[in-house]
Amino acid sequence: MPHPPDAPIKQRLRTVRRRIAAATLATFVAAWLAVAALGKGGATSTTATSASSSGTSGQSDAGTSATQGSDDSGSTQSSDGSSSDNSSSSQSSQGGSVTTAQS
Amino acid sequence: MREHARTLEVFGGRVELRGAGRDAPLALAVAEALLRRMHAALTRFDSRSELCRLNADPRATVPASGLVRRLAAAVPYAGELSGGLVDATLEPVLEPERTAPVHDPRPATPDPQRNWAQVRVDGQAVSRPPGVALDSGGLGKGLAADLVADRLRALPSYAIEYLGDVRAAGAERTLRVASPWDDAVLAELPLADGAAATSGVTRRGWHLIDPGTSRPARTGIVQATALAPTGLEAEVRAKAALLAGPAAARDHLPHGGLLVLADGEVVSL
């Protein structure tokens, strides 16, 4: 709300500060919602770890078969169709190891 | 530099996305959304998916989304690259036998009908012979990795581990090749920019089909790992190498790879 030109300077500063805090909070919430929507909402947790990455994608192969390969999307019939809405987030050191295996 | 990571379940397995840089969290979130969209469009296990609807459509030419058109374009690519051994127009084996086919090991052969060669993308539509269905299988997996890599290419480094395969760039990594029989690491190879895929018959059973006989293939190779510039190419080459058998497998692995023969011998290429 506007202040009369002769409002005390302290009051004006307090109002400005409040507006800045409100705008910052709104921006943060909007960004968070946007990222969550992009990720399709799954429950996302964030953790930090210093372990080097290791990944593995399980065993899989190709299941892929494409086949005639193909198949897969990795999956066997029973599992292929599955898609979980959950995802998780973490951090690890750059590089490290990656694993290839039959799916 | 540290890498952010996201892990999710799609295509019936686990996918881990990793990327470095300030923009990584948002880029990984976008990549995850793309993977989920691809899963919804290309899964064979949901009759409502666009791929299932395409396969059930009696028309020879069917309007299709960009994702399905990319898959359709991959079908003749895989056929050409593998000499017809990787044929995504064959019926997939959903419940593979756990025991080996009774015939002696022999190389797989292509299907003389070459239905894969008649799959085309015409503008915004996909054309294929009536009754011919497309299998997203391994092609969909490799394609997904390549599309995700496109989304992450602006990052200083990234890695995509997807259902046993890998696509990575920007950092030196150690590629571990898992044993076909247990969780042991069979070999370690350097991997900086490129992809690796592994195909085999010891984990899921004899699910790889010999296109020439439409029966499970028994070629004398139980696992093949292929290195290649892209996920799709690695996927095709790994399968083609396994189907080709020990004598011709090398021809399908021009970028290198690893073979495990039925007698346990490991051949590095």
Boundaries of every domain in chain A: 7-41
Which residues in chain B touch residue A89, judged by CB atoms under 8 angstroms apart? Answer: 4-7, 25, 28
Answer whether A38's CB lies under 8 Å from B33's CB.
Answer: yes
Please give the pLDDT value at position A82.
Answer: 57
Which residues in chain A touch residue B215, judged by CB atoms under 8 angstroms apart? Answer: none
Counting one residue from chain A and one from chain B, the pairs whose CB atoms sit within 8 A come to 326
Which of A64, A77, A93 comes nearest B235 by C-beta? A64
Q: How many CA atoms lie within 13 A of A102 on its CB side?
A: 26
Q: Do A64 and B137 touch (CB under 8 A)?
A: yes
Which candidate in A79, A88, A102 is best for mutational testing of the B interface (most B CBs within 10 A)?
A102
Collapsed DSSP state (helix, strand, coil) of residue A87? strand
Task: Please tell me which residue, B149 or A103, carries the higher pLDDT value.
Answer: B149
Which candidate in A32, A45, A68, A97 is best for mutational testing of the B interface (most B CBs within 10 A)?
A68
- Please state whether beta strands B158-162 and B165-169 pair in parallel, antiparallel, or not at all (unpaired): antiparallel
Which residues of chain B fall below pLDDT 50?
none
Q: Do B141 and A67 touch (CB under 8 A)?
A: no
Please give the pLDDT value at position B265.
Answer: 95
Which candidate in B26, B97, B160, B199 is best for mutational testing of the A interface (most A CBs within 10 A)?
B199
Nearest CA in chain B to A43: B8
Which of B25, B88, B156 comes nearest A70 by C-beta? B88
E strand or H helix that includes residue A86: none
Tell me how far apart the alpha carbons of residues B240 and B82 are, in angstroms, rounded to a whole number.
Answer: 6
pLDDT digits 0-9 by tens, B118-131: 999 999 999 998 88
- Residue identified by tokens 């898959």 is B71
Please give the pLDDT value at position A2.
Answer: 56
Domain ranges of chain B: 3-268
Q: Would you state the CATH architecture of domain B3-268?
A: Roll (3.10)
pLDDT digits 0-9 by tens, A32-63: 887 776 654 443 333 333 333 343 333 333 33
Helix pair angle (B137-152, B24-42), 10° resolution: 160
pLDDT digits 0-9 by tens, B151-197: 999 999 999 999 999 999 999 999 999 999 998 999 999 999 999 99
Please give the pLDDT value at position A64.
Answer: 33
Collapsed DSSP state (helix, strand, coil) of residue B7? strand
Which residues in chain A touch residue B199, judged by CB atoms under 8 angstroms apart? Answer: 61-65, 102
Tell me how far apart the alpha carbons of residues B118 and B134 are, in angstroms, rounded to a whole number.
Answer: 11
How close B160 comes to chain A (CA, Å)?
Answer: 9
DSSP B180-219: SSSS-EEEEEEESSEEEEEEESSSS-B--EETTTTEE---
Please give the pLDDT value at position A93.
Answer: 73
Please give the pLDDT value at position B132.
Answer: 92
Please give the pLDDT value at position A60.
Answer: 36
Tell me how far apart the alpha carbons of residues A73 and B63 are, in angstroms, rounded to a whole number.
Answer: 23
Calculate mean pLDDT across residues A5-19.
Answer: 83
Tell me how far apart the alpha carbons of residues B184 and A22 are, in angstroms, rounded to a whole number.
Answer: 55
Asked whether the predicted pLDDT for residue A69 surpasses 70, the reply is: no
For B30-58, b where at least 16 C-beta lie within 10 A, e where not — what string? bbbbbbbbbbbbbbbbbeebbbbebbeee
How distant is the alpha carbon of residue A62 from its chain centre? Answer: 28
Tell which A residues from 39 to 78 touch B, by Cβ distance under 8 Å: 39-40, 42, 44, 53, 55-78
Which of A73, A84, A94 comes nearest B136 by C-beta? A73
Answer whether B15's CB lies under 8 Å from B35's CB.
Answer: yes
Which residues in chain B touch residue A58, judged by CB atoms under 8 angstroms apart? Answer: 13-14, 163-164
Answer whether B159's CB lies under 8 Å from B192's CB.
Answer: no
ipTM comes to 0.88
